[in-house]
Chain A
Amino acid sequence: MDVENYQDLMPIILLGIVFFISALGMFYWSSKRGQLRDFDSQAKTIFTDEEPEGVVSDQFPDEKR
């Protein structure tokens, strides 16, 4: 199937539009769900009781703490 008629690209163009709208949708979703607020506590979500904030959690195996 060669592209002799640009109409044949319509599926790809529609797909592109769908993906663009889904990207806008994700941005809107994140805004609505509070993902774009309260950045300080968001930054701390990587810490847990097992590996808490304030503790360096990696070093060479032959080095003393």
Chain B
Amino acid sequence: MNSKSQTVLSDTDAYSTNDAGVRAELSEIDASIRTASIFFTVSSVLWLLIGSVFAIIAAIKMHHPDFLGGDAWTTFGRMRSAHLNAMALGWGNNVIFAVGLWIMARLCRSPIRHGGLLLIAGLFWNFGLTLGLAGIIFGDMTSVEWLEIPHYATPLLAFSYLLVGVWGIMAFHFRKGAHVYVSQWYILAALFWFPWLYAIAQIMIIWFPARGVVQSVTNWWFAHNVLGLWLTPMALATAYYLIPKVLGRPIYSYYLSVLGFWSLALFYNWAGVHHLIGGPIPVWLISAGIVASVMMVVPVVVVGINHHMSVVGLHRAVWRSPALRFVVFGSISYTLASFVGSAMALRSVNEITHFTHLTVGHAHHGVYAFFTMIMFGGIYYMLPRLLKREWPSATLIRVHFWGSAIGITIMLVALHVAGWLQGVQMKDASIPFLEIVQMTLPWLKARSVSGLFLTVAHIAFAVNIFWMLFAAGSFRARTAPTLLSKNDGEAFAK
């Protein structure tokens, strides 16, 4: 490390573009990562659409089981698993690579090296995932939740991941400037945690299976930590970068953001066993998981206060920014979903909610209302800067926002209500099971309707992106560009 990084810098002069030896211009950094980020963005959107189709099929089958009946490959079990993997690994990982690595590059203040490595990683990732999903659909699924992809595809994913991880470490190592912003902490930590989780889960469940319930514990340690140590940190990194960046005002309390990061790192990884409350595993293990799940209130409240206080007084600017509409929706959802989750971990609540639709609703609260909405915001901010073009259609952005917001709200209400009623009624032995199933049907139909809203939103998003990518030249900024020139009406030069 050079001697500059030994000093604690007391002002932001080192980040001025005047000092070219210290940091590069944002536009230069953006240009260096452009190809990789666009590749990952396009991949993520395609998987989002594919995952939405699987979702709708699975959702309809829950109230009309004969829908698309007659073929093994459209059965609920396969469609649901295909949906989960297409969304988590297809949409989720690709959008993380697109937005998270871009934020990392910008904060490392240096044009990236070895962008080719990222492209190779992306090709392997998508190929491995396609192979894996085909395997699931045509009957080779492993039957382990969140690890359904058959063994012939997982090494491709692992290799791809290795390339991304190595790239991330190198980008961090060659960064300029002394400060490590909280988003870089989250991204680096997530890049470190994910391969660890994936490798151990694959080893202990699939390749050299551990005995009996140890597999279950490993399974839920893995699956929950994909949410908590991969999706969550990446989304929080994006929110911590975008909220202050768009508003032009530093985060309310940087101290709280550091506290939030370290407390998340301490508590989140124990919580996974709350998926097995009541199961045949040691009670002390379950209790440890419940304690950690409740202690998560600490980082969640910290993040909530930080984000809320950062936008106080600037709500209009939030509403008028496409990126922040999505990001702030996501941040608020993070707080709500986490409180619901901490409550669900309590044994008395879990007695009702376990094995019901409420768990599914909660999962979508986290992965969609929190993670996905924030990453949508990330793409709305990033893509114009990479392409040096404006979004072609404000209407499509609004359709996307309202479709997603209304859709996920309907889904969450339907599943939480259905799940709670289901749980309460199942504890009453006098109510026949079939009656309880019939009670859930209207709520499940509402969920399918919500899926239509979401799919329309996703289509609007995809159309806007492809329009922007391919209709080059027709959508230079017309009135005031959102970002690319400093004066009203000035066309940007490049």
Most chain B C-beta atoms within 10 Å of own C-beta, residue among A45, A58, A59: A58
- Which B residues are closer than 8 A to A by beta carbons? 5, 8-12, 15-18, 23, 25-27, 107, 177-181, 185, 196, 200, 204, 208-211, 214, 241, 244-251, 253-255, 258, 262, 265, 317, 320-324, 380-381, 390-394, 397, 477-483, 488
Is A35 in contact with B180, judged by CB distance below 8 angstroms? yes
Interface SS majority for chain A: loop
- B392 / chain A contacts, CB cutoff of 8 Å: 61
From known contacts A58-B323, A60-B320, infer whether A51 and B245 are also in contact, taking CB-CB under 8 Å.
yes
With a CB–CB cut-off of 8 A, which chain B residues contact A44?
A: 12, 15, 250
* Residue of B whose beta carbon sits closest to that of A23: B265
Contacts of A45 in B (CB 8 A): 12, 15, 107, 177, 179, 181
CB distance from B18 to the nearest CB of A (A): 8
The 8 Å CB contact of A63, one of B185, B200, B393, B480, is B480
Q: Using Cβ atoms and an 8 Å threshold, which residues of chain A touch B394?
A: 60-63
Complex A-B: 22 CB contacts under 8 Å: A1-B209, A33-B180, A34-B8, A35-B258, A39-B254, A41-B9, A45-B181, A46-B245, A47-B12, A48-B25, A48-B26, A53-B250, A54-B248, A55-B248, A56-B246, A56-B248, A57-B482, A58-B324, A60-B320, A61-B392, A61-B478, A62-B478
A-B contact count (CB 8 A): 143
A60 vs chain B, min Cβ distance (A)? 5
- Are B12's CB and A58's CB within 8 A? no
A56 touches B17 (CB 8 A): no
Check B480 against A65 for contact (C-beta < 8 Å). Answer: yes
Find chain B residues with CB under 8 A from A60 CB: 320-322, 394, 397, 482
Q: Tell me which residues across on chain A come within 8 A of B214, comparing CB atoms.
A: 3
CA distance A37 to B208 in the complex (A): 46
